[in-house]
Amino acid sequence: MALTKEQFITEFKDMALKLYAAPIEDLSSQQLYQALALLTRSYIAQPWADTKERYDEEETKQVFYFSIEFLPGRLLQSNLLNLGILDEVEAGLEELDLHPQKIFAAEADPGLGNGGLGRLASAFMDAMASVGMAGNGNGIRYQYGLFKQAFVNGYQVELPDDWMRNGFPWETRKENRAVTVKFGGWVELRPSRSGHLRVIYHNTDDVLAVPYDVAMVGYHNGVVNNLRLWSAEAPINAGPHFTLEQRERINQITQILYPDDSDNAGKELRLRQEYFFTSAGIQSIVRHYRRTHNSMAGFADRVAIHINDTHPAMAIPELMRVLMDDEHVGWDEAWRITLKVMSYTNHTLLSEALEVWPIDMFSGLLPRIYQIVQEIDRRFRLAFVPQFGQAMIDRIAPLGNGQVRMAYLATIGSHAVNGVAPLHSELLKKDVLHDLFQIFPERFNNKTNGITPRRWIQIGDRPLAHLLDKKIGTAWRQNPLALRKLHDYIDDTRFLADLNATKAENKRELAKYIDQTVHVKVDPDAIFDVQIKRLHAYKRQLLHLLGILDAYLAIKRGEKRPKRLHIFGAKAAPSYVYAKEIIKVMNAVADMVDSDPEVSPYLQVVFLPNYGVSMAEKIIPAADISEQISTAGKEASGTSNMKLMSAGALTLATLDGANIEIKNAVGDDNIEIFGLTEKEIAGYYQRGDYRSRDFYEKDPRLHAVLDMLVNGKIPGIETEGRDIYNALLMYNDEYFVLADFESYLAANARLDKLYQQPELWAKKALVNIAESGRFSADFTVQRYGREIWHVIPQTPEDDGSDTEA
């Protein structure tokens, strides 16, 4: 849109006056933020309405991305950027003697997700709008987002995230679009005169699902899509017997986000949440469709529904229910429509994350849905036992072992199933979904994850963005593949120095931020070595920690090395004891290193509390090294690896998830690979001959490092040190930390050496930035659009680069 600085100043002052009856000089940053957000929303309103109208008029096929998590990050700056008015607004604010960054920082970060899965969903929302795809989000409006993390005495403490305290100016309550979701009770099936079954519900708990819509603004294209977040409320005419307790129980449904990442706790409230937003979404999609169509026959040509992990997999039986019970479609036709509409992404191979529900809980809470799952199960067995045998079908039918198995249900009820990086997609076919792959090989495919360079470079890394503009022009802002132009400057000494200077500037900024937030002074000339992601044993923050302890001991012995600053950001699930113990030990090591004047000139450790999207925007631009060190075969894709690469950090990585793609993109010389491969680890499992103690006994450096966990050298970690020591040595080190220790140290030594050659380092950073464009989520959603959702015509020139599973 077009907006001059002068126009903006007038309208902004006007809005502030209307809102607060005071001149802007009297307003707090929070108030200025509110005024600016509302003004921005007023700019979004027309294109938002126009986009909706156009989709309806042209009967555009629409995608509905169902996800129990969304992590959009702060929206003000990104909305201004995408509207194309960020520069004018910032100039206007500065003219008013206001500080744009201070105003932007007043926005609460909607933490409606845990980590990669939720952030990916939001990247896809941004990308779909930006490539002009009709893509809607469907999720939950949690009143409290992911807990706020604090450290007390080095221990993680969880505080409530009251993110809506000041309101959420981006949402609009659509009370006219509310639907009812039914739980519990029992179902009566009564044949009706017209021949179809009448389904009568008795004694159900009814919940009103009220949608709150959030605009998803496309980049410079006038498109505004919709993210619909559902809130649970008591039904309006609930009657005199409706108690306060019942009201409370209903409100609970959308009160909190479960803080577990890649883990399934099997709690009933979580099942309620899943059905709540899924049913509400399906009902509202069907209702909207039926306003302009008098049958459901063409539904699958207008609607694609994507199931982001299994949390919304109930979309399959729920759509069957609506088609049959409400729309009177027969089973076969309903199933044909459902299969054509639904697609599913798997995000993990970890068994503890694969969702299963006890049949008792499931059937009690969702009796009609359970009946439909039983029928799906019955027909699946009927169809495939003859060819594949009872034993195999028993393993993979939706019902088995007294459980509803959601990944199997999702695969059986979708026309497409994808993993999120090539290795992950291969392992899905080999292990977790092996048997289903035998039956439905054509459904399986890969869609490598992506990120949005708009947020990570254009907003998060302004110094780099400006340097790029100067050197290769601004085309990369529209098409990140244009970053490849950078290759032309691989021998441009001046430019390489500029690149290093930009990184140095970002490091100084982060040093300031660290000082302000945790009151720790860090040396901006150190190597900034970053590991930011959820705390999980398989991600091996512990390997990184052991590397730090080795460095500590080496420095104590008198070794000199370039100074390294280790930066961690990670939340642990509140019930994940081992992960919390690792946090405690990290913090203890940070203190020990910091208080030792022999060591602190060479080594520093900072664990930043409350890592999230907004903090990532500050850390990533300053990173020199990106630690992506999961046990091979365990990290489905990873996405912080892509973000850090795009900021020119060198990746220190195992051959896992999308690290493999990064290696293929930049070449072996521009990434630091170490550790066991997935094959080698599978070999250990098969033979059953991994003995972590052998590594401890053979390697004196490892020996010394592990002993530090239990010999009292690190103050205050008696319990935690012992538990970790035992996990590694008594319980045989489930994640092969000890096996990879030596090669991890060697890789780190190579990085230390490389850092002595700043120009060579800059060349490698350049290649990383240049090749990061391929990981733009814009391309990812286009591949989904062509190959799964069928909202983009399949074109022959598409090389299908990462579609081979």
Please report whether residue 657 would count as binding ligand Z57 according to CB under 6 A.
yes
Residues in 325-354 at the binding interface with ligand Z57, rule: CB under 6 A: 347-348, 353
Q: What's the distance, CA 323 to chain centroid? A: 32
Of 447, 539, 571, 764, which one is the catalytic site residue? 539
Region binding ligand Z57 by CB under 6 A among candidate stretches 115-123, 409-417, 600-608, 619-627 = 115-123
Of 141, 455, 534, 774, which one is the catalytic site residue? 534
Burial class (CB in 10 A: 0-12, 13-18, 19+), 547: buried
Region binding ligand Z57 by CB under 6 A among candidate stretches 19-27, 108-116, 223-231, 494-502 = 108-116
Specify the amino acid at residue 725: Y
CA distance 102 to 32: 10
220 assigned to active site: no
Of 41, 643, 774, 783, which one is the catalytic site residue? 643
448 assigned to active site: no
Backbone angles phi, psi at 368, to 5 degrees: -70, -40
Of 278, 345, 639, 803, which one is the catalytic site residue? 639
- Placement of tokens 């020139």 in the chain: 797
Residues in 249-288 at the binding interface with ligand Z57, rule: CB under 6 A: 261-262
3-class state of residue 520 by DSSP: coil
Region binding ligand Z57 by CB under 6 A among candidate stretches 82-90, 122-130, 519-527, 632-640 = 632-640
Three-state SS string over 80-94 comes to HHHHCCHHHHHHHHH
Residues in 533-592 at the binding interface with ligand Z57, rule: CB under 6 A: none
CB of 360 to ligand Z57, least distance (A): 23
The answer to whether residues 226 and 138 touch, using CB atoms and an 8 Å cutoff, is no
Choose which of 76, 120, 329, 625 interacts with ligand Z57 (CB under 6 A).
120
534 assigned to active site: yes
Non-local (6+) Cβ contacts of 652 within 8 A are 529, 625, 626, 627, 628, 629, 672, 674, 747, 748, 751
CB of 214 to ligand Z57, least distance (A): 21
Q: What's the distance, CA 508 to chain centroid? A: 28
Kind plus residue range of the DSSP H or E element containing 216: strand 205-217
Q: Which residue is nearest to ligand Z57 (CB)?
A: 116
CA distance 469 to 752: 31
CB of 753 to ligand Z57, least distance (A): 30
Choose which of 233, 309, 327, 771 interacts with ligand Z57 (CB under 6 A).
309
Please report whether residue 137 would count as binding ligand Z57 according to CB under 6 A.
no
Q: How far is CA 573 from CA 155, 577, 704, in A?
A: 13, 8, 30
Choose which of 372, 636, 673, 751 interacts with ligand Z57 (CB under 6 A).
636
Give 262 or 776: the residue with its C-beta nearer to ligand Z57: 262
CA distance 793 to 786: 6
Q: Which of 1, 277, 275, 281 is nearest to 136 (CA)?
A: 281
Give 371 or 664: the residue with its C-beta nearer to ligand Z57: 664
DSSP per position, 734-770: TT-HHHHHHHHHHHHHHHHHHHT-HHHHHHHHHHHHH
Region binding ligand Z57 by CB under 6 A among candidate stretches 114-122, 186-194, 664-672, 691-699 = 114-122
Please report whether residue 449 would count as binding ligand Z57 according to CB under 6 A.
yes
- β-strand pairing of 625-628 with 527-532: parallel
CB of 636 to ligand Z57, least distance (A): 4
Question: By rule CB under 6 A, what string of x and - marks binding of each residue 381-420 to ligand Z57?
Answer: ---------------------------------------x
Helix axes 777-784, 116-130, angle to 10 degrees: 80
539 assigned to active site: yes
Please report whether residue 115 would count as binding ligand Z57 according to CB under 6 A.
yes
Please report whether residue 638 would count as binding ligand Z57 according to CB under 6 A.
yes
Give 353 or 770: the residue with its C-beta nearer to ligand Z57: 353
CB of 662 to ligand Z57, least distance (A): 13
Residue 185 φ/ψ region, left for φ over 0, alpha for ψ in the -120 to 50 degree band, beta for the rest: left
99 assigned to active site: no
Token pair recorded at residue 164: 């809506």
533 assigned to active site: yes
Give 637 or 768: the residue with its C-beta nearer to ligand Z57: 637
Please report whether residue 632 would count as binding ligand Z57 according to CB under 6 A.
no
Note the residues at the interface with ligand Z57 (CB under 6 A): 114-117, 120, 261-262, 309, 347-348, 353, 420, 449, 635-639, 657
Active site amino acids = 347, 533-534, 539, 639, 643
